[in-house]
Every structure is written in C-alpha cells, then in structure tokens.
Amino acid sequence: MVEGREIFNLLWLVPAIPLFGALFNCLLGYRAGNLVVSIVGCGSIGLSFLLSLCIFRVFYGLPVEDRQIELCLFQWIVSGDFQAPLDLLLDPLSMVMITMVSGVSFLIHVYSVGYMANDKCFARYFFYLNLFVFFMLTLVLAGNFLVLYIGWEGVGLCSYLLISFWYERRSAAAAGLKAFVVTRFGDFFFALGIILIFLQFGSLHFCSVFANPGEVIGVSMATWIALLIFVGAVGKSAQVPLHTWLPDAMEAPTPVSALIHAATMVTAGVYLVARCYPIFELSPFSLQVVAIVGLLTAFISATVALVHTDIKKILAFSTISQLGHMFLALGVGAPGAAIFHLLTHAFAKALLFLGSGAVIHALNDEMDIRKMGGLRRYIPATFFTFTIGALAMSGVPGLAGFFSKDAILYATFVNGGPLMWALIVITASMTGFYTFRIIFVAFFGVKRWDVHLHAPGKAMILPLVLLALLAITGGYMGVPHVLGGSDRISEFLSPVFGNAEVHGSLGSSVEGVALAAEEGGVVEGEAAEGAPQGTETAEGIAGVWETGIQMSEKSLEMLLMLVSAVMALGGIGLAFYFYVYSGGRDVPTRLSEKFRVAYSIFTNGWYFDALYKAVFVDPYMKLSTFFLKAVDVAVIDNIVRGVAGSLLSAGNILPGLQLGVVRWYATVMVLGAIIIILYI
Amino acid sequence: MEQILFYIAFTITVVSAASVVLQGRVMYSVLSLIVTLLGVAWIYAMLSAPFLAIVQVILYAGAIVVLLLFAVMMLKFDETVQRRLRPDLLGVIGALVALVFAGMFVSLVSCGCFEFASIPADYGSIKSIGSVLYTQYLIPLELASVLLLVAVVGAVMLAGRR
Amino acid sequence: MQAEVIQSLLVVGPSHFLVLGATLFSLGVLGFLVRNNIIVLLMCIELMINGAGITFIAFCRQMGSLEGQIFVLFVMVVAAVEIAVGLSIVVLVFKNRATLNADEMEVLKW
Amino acid sequence: MDVSSWPILSVLILLPAAGAVFIFVVLQQNEFLSKLLAFLISVETVVLAVFLFRRFDPADGEMQFVEKMDWIPEFGASYHVGVDGISLFMVMITTVMVTLAMLSSWDQKGRGQALFYGFLLLLEAGLIGIFLAMDLLLFYVFWEVMLIPMYFLIGVWGGANRRYATLKLIIYTMGASLLMLVAILALYFYHHAQVGEYTFDITKLYGTPIPPEVLLPMALAFFVAFAVKSPLFPFHTWLTDAHAEAPVSGAVDITGLLIKTGAYALLRFLLPLFPEFSMSFAPIVVAMALIANLYGAMLAAAQNDLKRLIAYASVSHVGLVILGIFVFNVQGIDGAVFMMVSIALCSGGLFMVVGMIYKRSGTKDISQLGGLWKDMPVLAGFFMFFVVASVGLPGLSNFVGEFLIFVGAFKVSVLYGVVAAFVMVLTAVYLLWMFWRVMLEKAPERATPWRDLSMAETVTLTIPAIIVVVIGVYPKILLDRIEPSALKLLGQVKKETAQMDDLGRWKSLRLVERLKEVKRDKPWR
Amino acid sequence: MEMTLPFVNLGTIMPQIIVAFFAMAALMVDAFYRNTRYVFAVSILGLALALYAVYMQCGLVIPPEESMVAINSYTVFFNVIFLLVAAVTMFLSLSYADLTGIDGGKYYPLILLATLGMMLLISSRDMLLMFLAIELLSISSYILVASQRDRWMSNEAAIKYMLTGAFASAFLLFGIALVFGATGTMDFMKIKQALSDGPVLFHAQIGLAMMLVGLGFKVAMVPFHMWAPDVYEGAPTPISGFLSAGSKVAVFAFLLRLFADPFAVPHADWIAVLWWISVLSMVVGNVSALLQKSVKRMLAYSSIAHVGYMLMALVILDTRAMEAAVLYMAVYAITGLAAFGCVACLSKGPEERLDIQDYTALAYSHPVQAGVLSVCLLSLAGIPLTAGFIGKFYLFGAAVNAGFVGLAVIGVLNSAVSLYYYMGLMLKMYTAPEGVGEIAVTSPMAGRLVLIVLGLAILILGIYPSPVLGFVKVAVAAIASPVM
C-alpha cells in the first residue's frame, strides 16, 4: 500500500476498480458463473472501499488547509475557450461521500449475492451494479461540473437499467422509463446551469468557480444558476414536484432500491447543492426555494407514506421525505447537517430496505404489508435489524437519525422560523408513525400469509447486522456540542462550506446590523472558526438574531431536541395504538372513512401522477401524433404529393392530346402557326 | 383586259380548288385538281413565266395527276364512309382554325404595296431560265436528280414485289 | 376612297396574285384539316404547294428576277417526288389495312 | 511512403470508383468475388484514411494534401482536392461506415448482390469526393453522382413502397441541387465579371462581391440544396421514407446517414461563399434548426416503424448540427462536426441493430415486436448501448457534440440554448420508449427462439461501439484537428461581415426589400 | 447571251459526291448481287471515304461566290457527326434489318441519301439548296420509316410522317417564298444584307414564321411535335434513332445557323416566341414522358424535351449559347442514337421490347445493353460524369450568363422531372428477377460493340470534355457573326 501523499495519485482507482469489475461482468460474466461474478462484483467494490479508507486515513492526517487534492487525468473536451479536463477533486465532502458510497455499496453487493442467487441474469445485475458504483464515485469525486455530469447521467442510466432489470414486467419497463425521463427533465436544467456557469465564470472547475463567486456574478445571476442546478437536484433526488418516479422505481430488485434509491444516487442532489453551496449562498432567494421545496416534499411524502400498503413504497416515500429534510437543511443554511443526515439516512434506509428485501424474499416477492404479519417469530434477525433501522429513522434519541435530524430541526427553528419548524416536527412524528406502522403490521399481529418461507442466508444477514451497527453508531460522528459531543462531521466538512453551520437568511432581510452580525459570529462558536467570514454571511447571521430570540443558545437547542424526541416517540406510540393496541377496533379504517378526502389524496400520492399524465404525457403523445398527421403528412407530404401528383396526372393528360389523327396534328400545327404569326 | 383575264383565272382556280377540298368523291377531287393546276398554269403565263406554265401543264397536270388517278382507280377503297364531310368535333375545330388562318393569312400576305418591275423581253424564256439553271443552280439540279432517284428507290422498295 | 379601292382592284398588281396564292394555300390547309381521305390530303398539299408557287412567281415578276422561276421548277420536281413516294406508301398501307381513311390511322397515339 | 509523390486523396476517391467499375464490368455475375473485392477495397480505404489521419498536421487549419490540376480548362474547372480538419473526419467516418455497411449486409440474399456492392462502392467514392472537393464543379459532380447509387440501392433492393420513396428522393434532392447548379453558374459568372477569370475554385470564389438583389436567390438556392440534403425541417420528409424503404440490412441507412453531406456543405460552401447571407439569415436558419430539432424528436415518438423512428431521430440530431453551424462560434462548429461523426456512428449502430432484428423477425413494426431481450440479450445490449449513446450519455460520443453545440448556442442567445437543450429530454423519451416497446416486456409466443447475434454481427456492432466510446472519452483526437479549421472558417466569415452593422439580423429583411425594387428590365429573362 | 458552264470546284462538295456516288453504287450492288452484306459494306466504305474527305476539308474556307455549298469548321463538325450517325445506324441495323424484314439492299443506300441531305442542308448557302436538301432528307426518311413493309405500325408511322411532313414542307415553301419576296434573293448572305440594311420587312417576318413552322416540324418542337411520338414508336428502331440523332440534329444545326447568320437581325423580335416554344417543348416533352408505357415513345417525348433545351440556345444566341447548343447537339446525337440502339439490340425473337415491363431485370440477362442504356439514360437526364451533364451545364451556364435565369431555372426543374422516368426505367432494368431469370439471348456482336463504344464515348465526354469543347469553339467561331 502506498503511504503518504502518493496515495492520492491512486485516487482515480477508486472509481476505476468498479469500472473494471463492471467491464469484466459485462464481457465475461455470462461464461464465468455466479461465483466468479460475485467475487469480482463484490471484490472490486470492496477494494475500492478499502482504498478509500486508506485515502481517508491519509487525508484525515492532513492539515485542514491542505484538505483539497486535485488530480487531473487528461484533457477531455477542449474547444476554443471551453475546457473540461477529466479531473478529480478530493475534499472533505467528497471524502465523506466516497467512503460512504463505497462502503454501503460493498455491503449491498454482498447482500445481493444472496438476494439474487437464483436469478438468471446474475452477471448482468452485477454489471449494472458495479457500473453504478463507478458512476456514483465519479460523481462525488468530480473536479469540475462536466465530470460530475458524467456521473450524474451515468447513475441515472444505471438506475434506469436496474429499475427495468426484470424487463418482462410491464410495470418495471414503465417505471424505468419514467425514472429516466423525469430525472432527465431535471438534468436538462442542470445542464443549462452548467453552461450558464461556464459562460459566467469561463471555467467549470470547482475550485475556480467556488473560489470567489461573489466577485464574478451578481445576485440575480447567482439565483438563476442556483435554481437551475437545484432543479437538477430536485429531479435526481425526487423532490416535489419531480418525485413521482421514485415510488415506481421500487420495481427494481430490493438491494438496488436500497443502494440507489435510498442510500446513494438519490442523495446526489443533496450532494450537488451542498457542493454548489457557495453559489446558493449568494442568493437568499434560492435558499428559500430550496428550503420550501424540501419542506413541502418532506411533508407531502410523509403523508403518503402514512397510508401506503406496499412496504417498499412506504420506504420510498419515506426516502423522499428524508431527502426533503436534507434539502430543508440546505435551505436553512445547514449543509453540514444535510450531509450528516445524508449519511445517517443512508445507513438507516439501506438497512430498512435490505430488511424489507429480506422480508420480500422470504415471502416470495410479496410486498403488501397487509399480507404479512407476525413475521417477528419467523425471521427474527431481520426483525431486529429492521427495528433498529426504524428507530434510527424515526429519530429516537441515541440512534443515528436522532442527531442529524435534530441538527436540521434546530437549524430550521433558528433560520426558518417557527412555522417551518412546526411543520417539520409534525413530519418527524409522521416518520415515526409510518416506519413503525410497517413493523407493527408486518412483524406483529397474526400471520396473514401462507407461503413457504425462505429464511435469509448469511450473505444477507451479515450486511444487515453491519448496517444496523452503523445505524446505531453513525450518529456519534456528529453529536452536537450541547450534548457534549464534538460534532466532528461538521468540523470536518467546514472547509467546504466555509463559514457554514446555522447561518442562512431565510425569510429575513439581508440587511443586518454589523453589531448583531459580529455577535452572531461569536456565538456560532468553534465550528465557524478559521473560516473567512464574508460580509454577506455576517449580514445573513444578523437576520437570525433579528427574530429577537433571547433564549440562550444551549437551552434552546436542548428544548428543541426534547420536543423532537417526544414527537418521534409520539408517532411511534400512535402507530402502536393504531395497529397493536386498538386491536379489533380498526382505528385506521374508521379514520380513513372519516377523512375520506384527505385519505384519497394521500393514497393517490397527491395526484401528481394523474396530473402529469394529463398535463404532460397525454398532450405530448397527442401533439406528436398531431404533428405527424397534420404537419408531416397533411402539409409537407401533401405538398410533395401534390406536386408529384399533379405532374403525374399532367403526364396522364398531356399525351391524351396526342389523338393519333393526322388532321388533328395538322390543326395544332396551324394553330401554332397562327399564334406565332399573330405575335410577330 | 388583263384584269378580266386575271379575274377569270382567279375564279376558275379558286372555285376548282374549293371543289378539290369539298368534293365528296375522290375522283371528282382529282378532276377538280386538274382544273386548278391548269388555272395556275394560266396565272404563270400571265406572270411572264411561259416556260413554267408549260412545265406546269405537262408535269403537274399531266404526270402527277395521272399518278393520282391511277392510285384512285387502282385502290378499290370503299368511299361511302368518308364521302361526306362529317361534322365531328375535330372537323369543326379544324375548319374553324383553317378559316381563321385563311383570313389572317390572306389579309397579311396581300398587304403592302407592290409594283411590277419592268422586265427584259426574254424574261422567263426557256433560254434565260436554262442559262441560270445550268450555271448558278447546277448543284441543286444534280440534287434534284438524286431526289428523283430516291423516288424510284422508294417506290420500288415500298410498292414493289418482294 | 372608294375610287382608290376600285382602282386597286382594277389595276392588277402583285398583290392580286399574292392573294390568289394565299387563298390557294389556305384552301389546301382547310382541306387538310377537314378531309380524311389520304389521297385527298395529298391533293390538298399540292394545292398548298401551288399557292406557294404562285407567290414565288408573283414576287419574281415583281422584282424581275428569275430565281423564283427556277425555284418553282424545282418545287415541281419535289412535288412529283413527294407524290410518288407518298402514293407508294399509300399503296403499301392499303395493302395492309385496306383503307385510305386517315382517321383510322390512329393505333399509335398517346 | 512519401506523401508528396503519392496522391493519397485521389487514391481515396478513385479506388472505390475503380472497384465499382470493375464490379460492374467484369464481376457482374460473380457475387462472391465482387463482395470480397468490395469489402477489401473498403477496408483499404479505411487504412488509407487512417494513414491520412496520421500524416495530417493537427496544427494547420489550411487545406492539406492539396492536389490540383486542370480538368476542363475551357470552363476554368479544375480537379482540386484537399483535406482539412473538418473534412478529414468526414472522410474517415465514411470509410468506416461503408465498411460496416458491407459487413452488415454480408449475408443478404437474392440476386444482384454484385451490383449491390458495386453501388455501395460508388456511393463511397461519391461521398469521399464530396468531402474532398475544392472546386465547385467537381463538388457538384460528386454531389449528384452520389445520388445515383443511393437511388438504386433503395429503388432496387428496397422495401415494398420503394417507388414512392425514390420518387420523393429524386424530387427533393435533385430538384434542389439542380437549382443550386444555376446558383453555382451565377456565382461563376459574377466572379468572372468582377475578376475577369472563369474559375470554379472555391478558394478563389471566396469573397466574390455579389450585388444584393441576386445574392438572396443565389444563396437561397445553395441553402435549400444543402438543407434538403441535411435534411432541415420543412424538407425532411424524403428522408424518412427513404430510410423506411431502404434495404433491410441497414447498409444503406448507414451510408444514408452520411447524407450529412448537407451539413458539411453548409460549412464548406455556404458560410464562406455567402458570409453576409449566412450571418443575416442565421436567425431564420437557427429557427428552422430548432424546429427540426424538437419536431423530429416529437415525431419520432409517434412512429411505429423502427427505421422511420430512427430517421426522425436523425432529423432531430441534424437540427442540432445546423444550429451548431449557425451560431458562428468555435464551440458550435466543433460540436457540429463532432456531432456529424457521432450521429453516423450512433444512428448507424441503431440502424444495423434494426436490420438484424428485421433479419430475424421480418418486421420493422414496433407493435409486432417486444420482449426481444429474452432471446437476444447481446443484441439488446448493443441496442441499449446505441440508444444510450444517442440519448447523449456523457462519456459517449454524442454528448460531446451536443454539449459543445449547447454551449455555442448559449453564447449567442439563451433562448437558442434552452430550446436546443430541451431535446435532451425528448430524445430520452422516444428512444427509451422505443427500447421498451422493442426489447422489454414479455415476448409473444414464438415457436423457436430467435438466434442471438452471430460472431460476425457482433464484430460489426462492436466496431462502432468502440469508436463511440473512444471518441466520447477522448474527443481531443477530433477536436484538436477540427479546431484550427473551424477557426479559419470563422475568421473568413467574420472578416467578410466585419462591416455589417450590428443590426445584421434585420439586414435580411432589407435584402428582400431591395430585391423587390429591382425592376425587371428583361421581361423574358 | 453566252452560256459558259461554270467552274465547279468539286473539292468543295467531295464528301457529298462520295456519299451520293456510293449510294448509287450500293444500289447497283443490290441490283446485281442481291446481297445485303455487300450493300452494307459498300455503304460503310462510302461513309468512311466521305469521312476522310471531310477530314481533308478541315481548315478550308470557300468564299461564298464560289459555291452554294459552304465549307467551314461548323459544317465539318456536323458532317463528321452525320457520317458517324449514319454509320452507327447502319451497324445497329445490321441484324435488326434481317430480323424484321427490311429490304436491306435499298435501306442502306437510303440512309446514305438521307445523310447526303443532312450534309447539304448544313452547308447550304442558298434557300433552294436548303429546301432540296430538306426534302431529300425527309423523303428518304419517309421511306426508311416505312421500310418494315409488313408491320402495320411502321406503315402507320410512315403515312403520318409523310402527310404531316409534306404539310409542313408546304409551310416551309411558302415561308421561303415570302422571304424571297421580301428580300429579293435566295442567297443567305444577301438576305442578311437585305435585312440588316433597312427595317425588317413585314413579309420577311411572316416568311420566317412559316419557315419556323416547317423547320420546327422537323425538329419536333412544340406545337409542331405531335407526329414525333407516333413516328418514333412506329419506325424501325434504328431509324427512330437516326431521326432523332440525325435528322433532328441536322435541322436544328441549320436552324441555329439560320438565326445566327442570315436572320440575326430579326432575331430580337423572336426571343419571346422562341422562349415560349422552348419552355413548352421542355414541359410538354418531359411531362408527357412521365407515364409512358412504351420505351420508344418515352424516348420520343424525351427527344421533344431535349429540343426544348436546345432551343434555349436559340433564345439566347450569343457565342456561348451557340457553343452550348452545338455541344448539346453532338452529345444528344450520340446519346439518343445509343439509347435507341440499345432498344434495337434488345429484340427478343421477332418482337421488340417496347413495353417498359419487358425491361424488368434486363441487367441480369443483357448486361451490356442494360449498362449502355443506363449510361444513355443518365446522360439524357444530365447526371454528372456523363456527356449529357456537360451539355446541360454549358447550356444552363450560357442562359445564366446571358441573364435568362428564369429559363435556366425552368430548364433545371424540367431536368429534375425528367429524372423520374429515366430513373424509373433504369430501376426496372436493375430490379432483381424473381425466380429463374431470363436466359441471356446473345445479341449481335457488331451492335453490342458499337453500343459499348458509344457508351464509352458518353462517359469520356462526360469526364474529360476538353478536346471536344475545343472543336465546338472552333465550329461556332465559323458561324458566330459579328452582329451579336
């Protein structure tokens, strides 16, 4: 193993190893047999994970100022002043991401070996999965926007391929298409954003773009760029209104859902916004939009998750909701919290998905929770790990989710105001409710299934356990100072976000009092230390304090923490009451009848699908057909046909004048002579 | 005197020509044609072309018409179907076109004022013609003989026995 | 005015002969356009040629040159040749088709 | 080998031509030999093209390997060929695609195969000639000559409705290019009137001042001819029919893609010959290109015939290419040239796959297909690959071209850029939907499963796939060589129009007005 | 008055004398030996000698007083073409005549005589000689068209040709009379003198109109074209070729001379009329050909269209246009002849292939004929690398140069339309046969050889036209009058 800084020259191997694995599985996988395929598939990711750990070790040893390593592989697209080299950037943010991505991927690969053991297309599956990891790592390691875009599109493609993996199912094919197209719609804006950045900055390089964006562009341009990028993120991270593809994406094999549609790919949007945070910071309005979208998403999808019956879809909506949390965090100026939540959510949600995969696998691909029940006794290991995941998700104190969610709630309260805070707290309690609804319905109660149960094998249990461990401990990298922790994650990430942590300017004016700003800066504490403080930021911070909260920092944070913990537990308790305690009274049914409108809105996912079908899909098809029939055929073709047809019919008529009779010929000649002579 | 002679010749020629066109039976047409050709010969004579008048009578009215007469008599075709001018569409159009043409043509050709030139005494005599014909127009003369050869070859080739 | 017209009618000039030539030609054209017997058509062509001949001679006389007379001489030869060849074709056709109706020669058309 | 003594460009043109003649004259009855000969010649042209590539000086934007000699001195026409960064890749891709076309129709059945290959070679000669010609008359000769084999390939070996397709092909392309001939002649005489020299040499014709009242019709004649060939929006319907009726092996479709000659000709001839026109009409052309771009994508979605669908896809892509040309910046032109190469590869791959599907299924009707993945995973994999490449996945070739064009368009106007880029979404929709309908879901019951790709077929598809990846990952090979030429071209255009006022785009309208003022002094002319 | 027999420089009319002499000799041979081969050989010998004699005339210029027959590069150029056309027609007829019951013994001499007519026409300096030459040409043609005595199509074609031809000749004759009346002379030189001295006389214009009717009939320009399809279809196929390549070209070449030289002055008044005739000929010819079922008829209509193209030059009538027209005529002579020749060499048994349907998959049974016919069709359509392209290119160039852009545009659009039927026929020929293809019938070697030579000539002219262009320029220099 290469020691010291030289190891960074091997950075390209982190994504490259999975690529080699993918190529192997693609080209030779068919002949190689499942064992070789799984060794190559998992091994390549494992190697990559190991390498990133090594890199992490060296990286962590570097002084903070040096924690930004660039590696230019070669010039990619060069045309005039447009230059996009293929370069990689390793900074704390990407370091965290590659470690997480390769780690979770590795676990899920291992899990997949068991899960997909009986599938005919084993090699193809691992080809896609490896390819996905390659693109995902490229995405997070990218040193400029275009390289990021490679990964961005690549993961979308792999997502498409994996959603449509069981191609014989119509729904899988449809879901794949939908996922690709919807995210592509977002990508369109992202691409525009990239081009706009190039035109403004003359470069796509992260380091040069983010060095001092405020000097190059004004607020309105920053808003444009930020919003364009954000739409891309919305598409990829399934935020309202582009979230509809993600529930459908559950057609993919469950490990894929865990990896792509929960832990990694969908968080790329969060990563992107975090990456471009310097630009977002320039535009308060865009942050506001981010926050509102995130909040709405979190709330709407949580409501849908409340009533869904498909286990994977519940988890999918929950994923959307959690992503909403992350965006909210970004919007309220807590990118560190967002990334933190990203990590903890990755562990918890991967765990939940893998657990649900085990359940589904066990029950022969049954996904309706109403047809489960009492599983606790049959697959205990799954049950336990699943419960840990659920607890972590719900934000029960002590587990991973708690800390990250708490950081978000706090930032929301401080920067977003009480209204947003209230809404997000309600959402948090809904999280508890619907996660535990699964547990109580599926694992408790009576057995409502009669199939031969496939208990999960070792390859599946092991990742579950490991992930459960992570879900428990993951939170401790970011224990807030209030609880005596050191919030190492925020600290680690701080070079990226500069003067990060709670300092948005949501809902408040940008004009601030310098005094207040300074005060805020002081209060922010160590986290912000060492980072240059721009005037604008100071002004933003000043806004926070204009709300006039006089409560002391610590007690406020503690109080909020308490409230959120209570709400989470309350949600769990409500679920317990509904599905276990109330027994035969069937509270949920009665409630659903009582609030029929709300219920149907929830079950139909707020009618987004229907709306899109009516507004986009149908008109598009109709318009296409209309153009074909009305323009291409009716106008253009008919003109051509008309010209040709009239020529040909003239070709029919003209020789008809050739009567074959001599007198007629002579008559025409004389007529011609008359005309000529008269003319002359 | 000259006027009277001219108008008589004019009348004879035109009437007989009309008769060629309008006669129902081919034989009558041929006979009318003889009259026309003689009328033309008369006109030639009036125009100081005595040699041509003679040739016209001998060659045209003699040889050509005889050829036609032979043809008419040899080929026993049924005339009944085409004896009368049938007022079919083509005929009507043809007649109209021809009449328009005639009106236009006659009026156009005749307009402009001309005067006869004074001419030498031997104008149009055989000798004068011959001297021009055999000097200036030697090549056309030879060509005319070739033309006659063509006529012979054609007749033999087409109408002759195998 | 009237006197002039009468005068022009009375004094026979080249124009009179030109009118005659044109009339003969036009009659030939008329015949060609309305008749359908091939032999009559040939005769109509003779009429036209004679009309041209008269025109030649008239101009010739007007200018006092002999070229026109020579020309008409050659035209007669040509007319004879044309009639000879024409009649041989007519005979040929009659042998094969037993008709001299030009209107029936309409298999080749369109 | 010494280049100076060895006319490589002429050899590139003449070798396939001679091969074609040899096949027509000598080998007509021997199908195998002619097939073999044709294939060997096409491989040889590839080798030559690669050789050309290696000897090419990337830093030089001027014409290289120039050969020039008198052809018809009475007309001032010369045999003048040369290659620059733009045409170099056109030639290379032509040779490669023709070779692939031959490979893909290797097991085509039926009589007349010898002629089929002869025509393919002739087509190749014509195409290469178009890309190399530096003399307007020579160019026109190749331009027309190329159509003949095209016509035969479709008309003789094509589908059921081929008569109609060929009729359209002829009406559109010939009509337009003959009008261009008139314009060429007009230019020729104007040049003579100005300079006193009769010449068709474009290097001399560049910058001929032309009175405005005739500039418009002349340039329009050129433009329409090129637009039809490209094909640009209102002139595109011949292309879809031609593709739909082309022989099923896909061979012709592939070469048909090289009908991008139209776009090439815009670059080589219209822009430098009529810079003022090009600049002042750019908004209109760009509008057409954008319409073509979106419209083609829309219509592709409504198609039920695989080939027709891909044809509309290429209409859409060509719209982008022309957009790239008419934004007049280096990114746009780089992207356009790159895109032309890329379209040939990606859409060509798609056509080949469709041909292979047709060989097995006997239909191109999407509604009768479905679930092919099960029987033919390898074919499906290639299909997916080319679909994805066409969609513009970064790392594959189309993306590079597309993105550069977007950048170029954005530089000129945000509107252009946004509208153009939106096609990303539409492309994904129709191509993936097509993939779904053809490959995914359950297949209808079949007595025997269809055979997956044979070794030869796999090789045939692998070659373009590899090129797509290589130039997608390392586009500098192309871009480095295109750029000097593109810059030179831009320099020419910009120099000519430097005096144009800022309101250049309105000048087009004034041009029309001035045209109306010209009195017709010669009513019969 | 003294009679001195004139001095006739026989050298000036040596080629004509040779042709006439060998025609008679061939007739003698026929009379005494009754062997068509001998007749053929004698006729060809005559043509060859005449060609030599024409070659000897290169560079000669005969002053107009000396002879009615002009010799200049223009006449030499066309004489060569006529002699070659005649020779090719004979070669093509070699087996055709035997197959279709033509009396070869008189057939070949008649071709010689018709050629004599063409040669005299192009070099005539006098209206009388012109008239006689045209009559010699026409009357020989009537007989040639009728030479398939037993085929009713041939008979009908002959009778139609003869009747309408004589009718048109009468117009020509009257026109000559009027021109003579207006100018007082038969000599072209003097006519030019007379016309350029004063205002153009009214009678001369009418006379010219009448002459145009007569000559227009011979070249089959609209509206005097109606006979052409019928006659071309009914005539023996080599004769159809001869009519289109020989007689039409000869009369058109004469027409060009007529307008370029003696009637250069009134030409300006004629531009409109000629413009319309040109356009109508192109349109009517091409459009009528679009849906023809019979190949010969299609080629006939196409020849009408080609007259339309040539007429463009007559409209413009500057040096460049005349060069273009001369080139076009030469090209058309070769191409038209070769096209009809291919049809002639494709008879399957006693019947000819006339219907386009009969041409299906021809390329597989008769590769040579199909190949040459394809080249011809491409050339007729004006596709580059064939002679036809060079011709059209030159012509349209002349039109554009002279400012007749509208005419050029109509011309090119017509070319586009014409592609439809030319290419349609080619497509038929190359369509692969279904099932077992027709067994190739060996056709006569001589015909095939001639066809190959013609095909090659078309291609060579198309690829490297420079030498011929040189000849054309020289030829036109002889008639391009300084008036223009």
pLDDT digits (tens, 9 = 90+) for A161-174: 888 888 888 888 88
Q: With 50 as the cut, is the pLDDT of residue A532 above it? A: no
**Per-residue confidence band for A356, with pLDDT thresholds at 50, 70 and 90:** confident
Minimum mean pLDDT among A134-138, B86-90, E152-156, E215-219: which range?
B86-90
HSE-up of residue C21 (Cα within 13 Å, Cβ side): 30
Q: Does C87 touch chain E (CB under 8 A)?
A: no
| D130-157 pLDDT tens trace | 999 888 889 999 988 888 888 888 888 8
Q: With 70 as the cut, is the pLDDT of residue D98 above it? A: yes
| E103-147 pLDDT tens trace | 888 899 999 999 999 999 998 888 999 999 999 999 999 999 998
Query: Percent of chain A at pLDDT above 70?
Result: 89
Cβ atoms of A407 and A340 within 8 Å: the answer is yes
Residue located via tokens 């746009």: D332
Q: With 60 as the cut, is the pLDDT of residue A546 above it? A: no
Instruction: Taking residues A329-334, report their average pLDDT.
Output: 85
Name the residue among A345, A300, A290 with its Cα closest to residue A319. Answer: A345
Residue of E nearest to B162 (CA): E103
User: Whole-number mean pLDDT of chain E?
Assistant: 86
Residues A662, A667, A672, A673, Cα dihedral to 10°? 100
Residue of A nearest to D483 (CA): A79
Instruction: Taking residues A528-545, report their average pLDDT.
Output: 45
Q: Does E404 touch chain D (CB under 8 A)?
A: yes
pLDDT at position D451: 79
Name the residue among A91, A95, A111 with its Cα closest to residue A45. Answer: A111
Which of B130, B140, B158 is facing E149, going by the closest CB pair? B158
Q: Does D405 touch chain A (CB under 8 A)?
A: no
Instruction: Taking residues A371-389, report their average pLDDT.
Output: 83
Nearest-angstrom CA–CA distance, A677 and A680: 5
Within 8 A of B100 by CB-CB distance, chain A residues are 674
3-state helix, strand, coil in chain E (%, to 5): 75, 0, 20
Cβ atoms of E90 and E341 within 8 Å: the answer is no
Q: Does E146 touch chain B (CB under 8 A)?
A: yes
Q: With 80 as the cut, is the pLDDT of residue E53 above it? A: yes
Q: Does E224 touch chain A (CB under 8 A)?
A: yes
pLDDT at position A552: 57
Q: With 50 as the cut, is the pLDDT of residue A518 above it? A: no
- State how far residue E288 is from chain C, nearest Cα, in angstroms: 9
**Burial of D6 (C-beta count, 10 Å sphere; 0-12/13-18/19+):** exposed
Q: Does A676 touch chain E (CB under 8 A)?
A: yes
Minimum mean pLDDT among A71-80, A291-300, D502-511: which range?
D502-511
Nearest-angstrom CA–CA distance, D61 and A13: 38
Phi-psi group of A95: left, alpha or beta (phi > 0 → left; psi -120 to 50 → alpha; rest → beta):
alpha
> In degrees rounded to 5, what are phi and psi of residue A12?
-60, -20
| A162-215 pLDDT tens trace | 888 888 888 888 888 888 888 888 889 999 999 888 888 888 888 888 887 778
| E435-457 pLDDT tens trace | 555 555 556 778 888 899 999 99
Cis peptide leading into E223, omega within 30 of 0?
yes
Nearest-angstrom CA–CA distance, A341 and A401: 7
- State how far residue B127 is from chain C, nearest Cα, in angstroms: 11
**Per-residue confidence band for A256, with pLDDT thresholds at 50, 70 and 90:** confident
Do A663 and C110 lie within an 8 Å CB cutoff?
no
**Per-residue confidence band for E219, with pLDDT thresholds at 50, 70 and 90:** very high
Residue of A nearest to B102 (CA): A674
pLDDT at position E292: 87
Q: With 80 as the cut, is the pLDDT of residue D185 above it? A: yes
CB contacts under 8 A, E 438-467 vs D, are: 464-466
Name which residue leads in pLDDT, A495 or E204: E204
HSE-up of residue D509 (Cα within 13 Å, Cβ side): 5
**Per-residue confidence band for C28, with pLDDT thresholds at 50, 70 and 90:** very high
Nearest-angstrom CA–CA distance, E221 and D64: 51
Q: With 50 as the cut, is the pLDDT of residue A23 above it? A: yes
Nearest-angstrom CA–CA distance, E338 and E332: 9
Q: Does D296 touch chain A (CB under 8 A)?
A: no
Within 8 A of D166 by CB-CB distance, chain E residues are 423, 427
Q: With 70 as the cut, is the pLDDT of residue E461 above it? A: yes
Q: Does C24 touch chain E (CB under 8 A)?
A: no
Q: Does B91 touch chain A (CB under 8 A)?
A: yes
**Per-residue confidence band for D502, with pLDDT thresholds at 50, 70 and 90:** very low
Which of D24, D73, D156 is facing E427, going by the closest CB pair? D156
User: Whole-number mean pLDDT of chain C?
Assistant: 85
- State how far residue B100 is from chain A, nearest Cα, in angstroms: 8
Within 8 A of C75 by CB-CB distance, chain E residues are 131, 173
Residue of C nearest to B156 (CA): C88
CB contacts under 8 A, E 154-213 vs A, are: 159-160, 163-164, 167-168, 171, 205-206, 208-210, 212-213
**Per-residue confidence band for E254, with pLDDT thresholds at 50, 70 and 90:** very high
Angle at D483 between CA D477 and CA D488, to 5 degrees: 150
Q: Does C105 touch chain A (CB under 8 A)?
A: yes
Do E178 and B140 lie within an 8 Å CB cutoff?
no
Residue of B nearest to E12 (CA): B139
Residue of E nearest to B156 (CA): E106
- State how far residue A651 is from chain B, nearest Cα, in angstroms: 23
Cβ atoms of A205 and A143 within 8 Å: the answer is yes
Name which residue leads in pLDDT, A29 or B100: B100
Instruction: Taking residues B47-55, report their average pLDDT.
Output: 87
User: Whole-number mean pLDDT of chain A?
Assistant: 80
Residues A104, A110, A112, A117, Cα dihedral to 10°? 180
Within 8 A of B97 by CB-CB distance, chain A residues are 667, 670-671, 674
Within 8 A of B156 by CB-CB distance, chain E residues are 106
Q: Does E3 touch chain B (CB under 8 A)?
A: yes
- State how far residue A634 is from chain B, nearest Cα, in angstroms: 42
Name which residue leads in pLDDT, E392 or A492: E392
- 3-state secondary structure string across D470-507: HHHHCCHHHHHHHHHHHHHHHHHHHHHCCCCCCCHHHH
User: Whole-number mean pLDDT of chain D?
Assistant: 82
Residue of A nearest to D432 (CA): A177
Instruction: Taking residues A299-311, report their average pLDDT.
Output: 85
Token digits of residue E13:
């009319």
pLDDT at position D257: 59
Which of C56, C62, C105 is facing E160, going by the closest CB pair? C105
HSE-up of residue D502 (Cα within 13 Å, Cβ side): 0
- Secondary structure class of E128 (helix, strand, coil): helix
Within 8 A of B136 by CB-CB distance, chain E residues are 6
Q: Which of A119, A145, A167, A178 to probe by mutation at the D interface, max D CB count within 10 Å?
A: A167
The ipTM, to two decimals, is: 0.84
Within 8 A of B103 by CB-CB distance, chain A residues are none
